[in-house]
Amino acid sequence: MTTVHELPTPCLLLDPVRLERNIERMKRRAVDLGVALRPHMKTAKSIEVARLAAPDGGITVSTLAEAEYFSAHGFEDILYAVGIAPGKFDRVEMLRSRGADLQVVVESAGAARQVAARGIPAWIEIDADGRRAGLEPEDLEVLRIAELLGGSLRGVMTHHGLSYAARTQVARAEAAAEERDAVVEAARRIRSLGIPCPAVSVGSTPTASAATDLSGVTEMRPGVYMFMDLYQAAIGVCDEADIAISVLASVIGHRADGFLIDAGALALSLDRSTSRLPMDLGYGKVCDLDAVPLHDWVVDSVTQEHGVVRSPEGPPPSLPEGAMVRVLPNHACITAACHAEYQVLHDGVEVTDRWGRVGGW
């Protein structure tokens, strides 16, 4: 049996009990809301996690590398949910020729013409929050693109990124309603022209966790819910005890105001999303090997391979050299992306498995 004490640090730990609990909770929500679940695999990027999370077989990905990896492992219904660039058509067609039902996202007539000419199924991206990509539901361009796509149109999709700023369940439910209304309205307008628009897709973890009525929607695509993180806990989407990944690090030195660990920017990431919240958790919250927080200790500063653990309020933290800590991530997607694999850890001690991750684009 390998124990946590034998692992090289830094490395990424995954708690399978928390993972499965998070996954089951979202599956139940999808059933209760009457929609399919097309989980976004951009967070986990792991086939073992996809097998647990994708009950209907359909998945969302954020890179063609993920599409190729999941297709090679038997997933065929794949939505590549980042606007398609012309240089990627060859890879899309290669995957489709091998049997994958890979679908792309467009938001311009130019892209629509190209995908329609190649017979690649496409979704129109709708902007539900004025924040990132897509067209507003009332934009006439939506109808023009739908006409150009014709039989290649799979549906309309949106992602309400602004829901991350909603700090209460009520505000997140409102964001979920906005997200729903944007795509349902776009689908209605397309169908009023007699063009079939089979699917209507929404999804972020905050909206999926708070939606109360998804009438007219066919599926949702949350992703970070599988692992959760300090940001989701801080805005009230989950509890800290739901966070399923952490970075294992060793104490490597001491300073007057704290101690050094061997996890820096390349193991934790430079994500500082909790700095926008009342409780700034630095580059991550420091816990013992059972993932129980150690006082108010946070990783307060990082360089490439070093992290400095400090206490915002209390006396300078200290642990003996060689001691191990677990650091909970601010943003699970970004921290996980720093690592090539997961060490699957039961009860904080026994390493039962290693699961790979796909990287690159």
Which residues of the chain form contacts with ligand PLP (CB under 6 A)?
A: 40, 60, 81, 159, 203-205, 221-225
* β strands within the chain, DSSP E: 2-3, 11-14, 36-37, 59-61, 77-80, 101-106, 122-125, 153-157, 199-202, 219-220, 245-255, 258-261, 285-287, 293-302, 307-310, 324-328, 341-346, 350-356
- Torsional class of 169: left (φ above 0), alpha (ψ -120 to 50), beta (otherwise): alpha
Name which of 57 and 83 has its Cβ closer to ligand PLP: 83
CA distance 355 to 266: 20
Name which of 75 and 225 has its Cβ closer to ligand PLP: 225
CB of 175 to ligand PLP, least distance (A): 11
CB of 162 to ligand PLP, least distance (A): 11
CB of 177 to ligand PLP, least distance (A): 17
Name which of 205 and 311 has its Cβ closer to ligand PLP: 205
CB of 332 to ligand PLP, least distance (A): 9
Name which of 154 and 221 has its Cβ closer to ligand PLP: 221
Name which of 18 and 40 has its Cβ closer to ligand PLP: 40
> What ranges in the chain are assigned the alpha helix state H?
16-33, 47-53, 64-72, 89-97, 109-118, 140-149, 169-191, 205-210, 230-235, 265-268, 332-336
Name beta bridge partners: 282.
Answer: none
CB of 224 to ligand PLP, least distance (A): 4
